[in-house]
Amino acid sequence: MTACAFWNILSLEEIEMPDRQLSWNSNPKWPWPCEEDISKYINVPDWYLVGYEEVRGFLRGLRKGRSDTVGKSAGGRPITAVYYGPAKPRRKLCIASSTHGTEVEGVSSVMNIINVLETGHDLRGRKWPAFGEIARKVGFYLVPFYNPDAAARSMVKSYVGMSFDAINHLHVGFWKNGRTLCRKRVFGPWTKESDVAGKMDYIGYLGQRFNDAGRLINRPCSRRRSMAVETMQMLAYLRKNRIDCYMDLHSHSTAPCLHVCPKERTSGDYEQLLNLLELTREMTKKCGGPDPIPIYGNAKGWRNNHFFPANLGIYAFTYEEKGGWKGCFPERTPFEEIWTANTYNGMYTILGLAQALEFRGHLNY
């Protein structure tokens, strides 16, 4: 991407920042009576590093990675980015995970990449020389918790084997009468009714799509503004660091896929975005990963992978990993096998994107 892609954008002075407010006291606990033994959702291997406090402790011990702060969440928690790469990289890539607290697969991918770039091997001991090679050319900005409020609110570390009903309770939250929030509103375009700011007195459990102010993290209300302070701060951070490409990590019940915004939602070169998408798929398969299914977004509502390209002209993707909850994998699949697939699929896709981004930069696209 050329430098001109950064000029045709709204200035930060033109973009309305949301009011910062704290309305929820995150006190993790199992949010409804459940007879099921939940220890299997808490006891995970050390290499599946996704717990909020464990990750924060791990990051404090880094020696090679340069820690930076994107900003603070609605609940006052730091949004930390760790940088690896040359002093003057040819291209810059930002990867953010845990936009939603129940989608921990991306956190494991990001933390294992951090360990690779720190030590040469992942937390399971596997070496990834290709990451070290590409990090000599591409700058990696790695954000383990884009929504630290929801991560801190989580009382489990894995959703492998959990029923969809239980995950739905945790993901969208529920009212004090026990009814879950309306999925159509929570998952649809932002409206005044889609988040729960101002309704906290009626909430029994604040779902993990929300920050502590009850705002949806991944649903900007327009091109100019997101109600989530985290997203507005990320916009400023991407602009300040002149990031070329942004990808956030999610999970779903489908095979791995890559989402891009519709053409009308970017001020950059849309054809080059599509070219980068196809090259990323090619590179991901070549290095041993999955073939992420391409998903072309619609313009019915704003999402972060629309919001950043619209304002900055950068490349942006959303990666969806196949989650491990009940029904996604064959019933007798060992948990360890699912955790490994969830971690490595994301790592391969990030590696493929970095290689594709550097290759296109080398060709001056």
CA 229/CA 238 separation, integer angstroms: 14
Q: Which residue has the tokens 């969806």?
A: 320
Whole-prediction pTM: 0.92
Confidence grade of residue 29 (pLDDT, cut at 50, 70, 90): low
Give the pLDDT confidence of 291-302 residue by residue, as tens digits: 999 999 899 999
Give the pLDDT confidence of 133-180 residue by residue, as tens digits: 999 999 999 999 999 999 999 888 999 999 888 888 899 999 988 889
Q: How far apart are the first and last CA of the chain?
A: 6
> Please, what sign has the CA dihedral across residues 78, 83, 89, 92?
negative
CA 298/CA 66 separation, integer angstroms: 37
Closest CA to 353 of 299, 298, 300, 305: 305
Q: Is the pLDDT of residue 362 over 90?
A: no
pLDDT at 40: 82
Give the pLDDT confidence of 202-256 residue by residue, as tens digits: 998 999 999 999 999 999 999 999 999 999 999 999 999 999 999 999 999 999 9
Q: Is the pLDDT of residue 361 over 80?
A: no
Contacts of 139 (CB under 8 A, 6+ apart): 83, 84, 85, 86, 89, 91, 92, 93
Confidence grade of residue 96 (pLDDT, cut at 50, 70, 90): very high
CA 186/CA 193 separation, integer angstroms: 9
Q: How crowded is the C-beta side of 58, counted as CA atoms within 13 Å?
A: 21
Domain, as residue range, for 115: 3-362
CATH code assigned at 327: 3.40.630.10
Number of domains in the chain: 1
CA 280/CA 273 separation, integer angstroms: 10
Give the angle 18-20-23 at the CA atoms, nearest 5°.
125
Confidence grade of residue 360 (pLDDT, cut at 50, 70, 90): confident
Closest CA to 6 of 263, 239, 262: 239
Give the angle 231-268-96 at the CA atoms, nearest 5°.
30
